[in-house]
Amino acid sequence: MARFIFITGGVVSSLGKGLMAASLAALLQARGYRVRIRKFDPYLNVDPGTMSPYQHGEVYVTDDGAETDLDLGHYERFTGVSARQADNVTSGRIYQQIIQRERRGDYLGATVQVVPHVTDAIKAFALAETDDLDFVLCEIGGTVGDIESLPFIEAIRQLRNELGRGQSVSIHVTLVPYISAAGELKTKPTQHSVRELAALGVAPDVLVCRCEKPLPDGERAKIGLFCNVPKEAVIPALDADSIYAVPAQYHAEGLDDEVLRAFGIEPRGEPDLERWLDIMDRLQNPEGEVTVGVVGKYVGLPDAYKSLNEALVHGGIANRVKVNIDWIDAELFENEDESEIAARLEPCHAILVPGAFGHRGAEGKIASVRFAREREIPYFGICFGMQMACIEGARNLGGVANASSTEFGHTDEPVVGIITEWMSAEGIQKRESGGDLGGTMRLGAYEAKLTGNSVVSSIYGTTSISERHRHRYEVNTGYRAMLEDGGLVFSGMSPDGMLPEIVERPDHPWFVGVQFHPELKSKPFDPHPLFASFIAAALRQSRLV
């Protein structure tokens, strides 16, 4: 039977619960245990799919087509365990399921209440598909004391009793602020947060204390005394130079040892951290550096491109180089002349245009594509970035001056248009252009077939791939002949040959556009081949200038 680790946060938000959960899972995995991590989100959206990136950050997509919290990206990158729909649930999804059951009469006339119906649904989610695991880590979003999270805390309280002694551990992540005027770390916020959690029936077994200064033994002992945990179970969590240093840092502070002891398991030996030490060696001792210009729409919030940021770092790890990312707002290029665009992009050794929605910034991205193509600078277009590469090719090489996307409104030259029908593993999928926005895109893993002598087939080392998608617009194959006459080759297609997946320019140093999101599958110990190749091309470019 799987053991459960419940992770809550207190005092303030954004303390890094997701990163702590991912690091702890990696440490347990390094000791030979089978792990899975799950995220409970208290908000009422069914999923984050319709939320603005500025509200929620990146939407992480799983192989089975779930739109989930970005923390699931941390979980996958740190453990290599592919996340599933069953690994992320929101209050909205829980209530949606309960209301659907009530409307069907499944509750046989009973009054539907938070306890037991909502809490039972949360517990069922936590317990599902866990038979083959040693540990299940469940992270509760938000902060203890929030109204929204109360049903989840109550579900944890019930579940800990039902699982029995030795089958669950509670970890509470708090803040120990440093008051510079007093020159002291203050433990009172942590005490109050633990007291509030205990008042809800959940007593933490381990405390993870975020702090910007080292936590002295005296303060650790004080926290342990007032929070009813051993001093050794008060784990300091200082900022790290890289998120990939965090697993080793937590191990050095004894996190995995204390969690195992809380389960009554005496730790034996040391976890195998060799791959994490190798990653840090590559990050701390690079043999060069490159600058990648990311021309995006949501560059004001780094979390909007979290997986992309990490995948570029992974490409640097693969090539043992430091990757400097220049985040460029695409709107800056909307009304700029060529000389001003060149002044901003010339210092970049490579240019990347990521996914996005809507017309804002599109012209700036098209201008960036043209600059990369004409100056022979490595270019990587992802999802929307591939579509803009096709529109740029149609306008400037195909003679279609009005080439555009139906996403931007009516156009007589729809090089990119909405997709209303496609083939999936479950059969033909159909959508209406005026239908709901949530969960209606082409989502999840789809296969693609690559041309045998293409650049991308040599990068992947195969002609058959599977990648994750999140989009509702596609490049119109009616323009394929014209685009290929201009040198933009369709080198990857869906298995039925209907949907373009990859375009490339074989006569360019490195020019690839993909309709999918390869950043979602990249890991520090297994960098995605497209990002590894892209950064290698950027490194070659850096040696030319």
DSSP string across 409-449: S--SSEEEEE--EEEETTEEEE--TTS-STT-SEEEEEEEE
Give 340-373 as a 3 state SS string.
HHHHHHCCCCEEEECCCCCCCCHHHHHHHHHHHH
Residues 6 or more apart whose Cβ sits within 8 Å of residue 141? 17, 39, 40, 41, 42, 43, 69, 149
Helix, strand or coil for residue 389? helix
pLDDT at 431: 52
Q: Is 209 considered catalytic here? A: no
Separation between Cα atoms, residue 538 and residue 349, nearest integer Å: 5
- Positions in the chain short of pLDDT 50: 422, 436
CATH of domain 286-416+476-486+500-542: 3.40.50.880
Separation between Cα atoms, residue 268 and residue 271, nearest integer Å: 9
pLDDT at 482: 96
CA quadruple 145, 149, 151, 153: dihedral, nearest 10: -70
CA quadruple 206, 212, 216, 220: dihedral, nearest 10: -20
Residue from 172, 383, 392, 471 carrying the catalytic annotation: 383
270-275 own/partner pairs: CB under 8 Å, 24+ apart: 271/27, 271/28, 271/30, 271/31, 272/30, 272/31, 273/27, 273/30, 273/247, 273/248, 275/525
Predicted TM-score (pTM) of this structure: 0.93
Q: Options 3.40.50.300, 3.20.20.70, 3.40.190.10, 3.50.50.60; which CATH number does 3-173+242-278 get?
A: 3.40.50.300
Do domains 3-173+242-278 and 286-416+476-486+500-542 share one topology? The answer is yes
Tokens of 484: 């290929």
Tokens of 70: 């970005």
The amino acid occupying position 218 is: G
pLDDT at 420: 62
Q: Considering only CA atoms, which of 74, 24, 52 is closest in space to residue 304?
A: 52
Separation between Cα atoms, residue 97 and residue 103, nearest integer Å: 10
CA-CA-CA-CA torsion sign (405, 406, 411, 414): positive
Bridge pairing between strands 3-9 and 168-175: parallel
With both helix axes pointing from N to C terminus, report the angle between 246-253 and 274-284 in degrees, rounded to the nearest 10.
120
> How many angstroms separate the first and last alpha carbons of the chain?
59
pLDDT at 76: 97
Separation between Cα atoms, residue 173 and residue 237, nearest integer Å: 9
pLDDT at 121: 96
pLDDT at 51: 84
Helix, strand or coil for residue 319? helix
Q: Considering only CA atoms, which of 466, 500, 507, 508 is closest in space to residue 62?
A: 466
Domain boundaries, the chain: 3-173+242-278, 286-416+476-486+500-542
pLDDT at 258: 97
Tokens of 73: 């990206």
Separation between Cα atoms, residue 426 and residue 485, nearest integer Å: 36
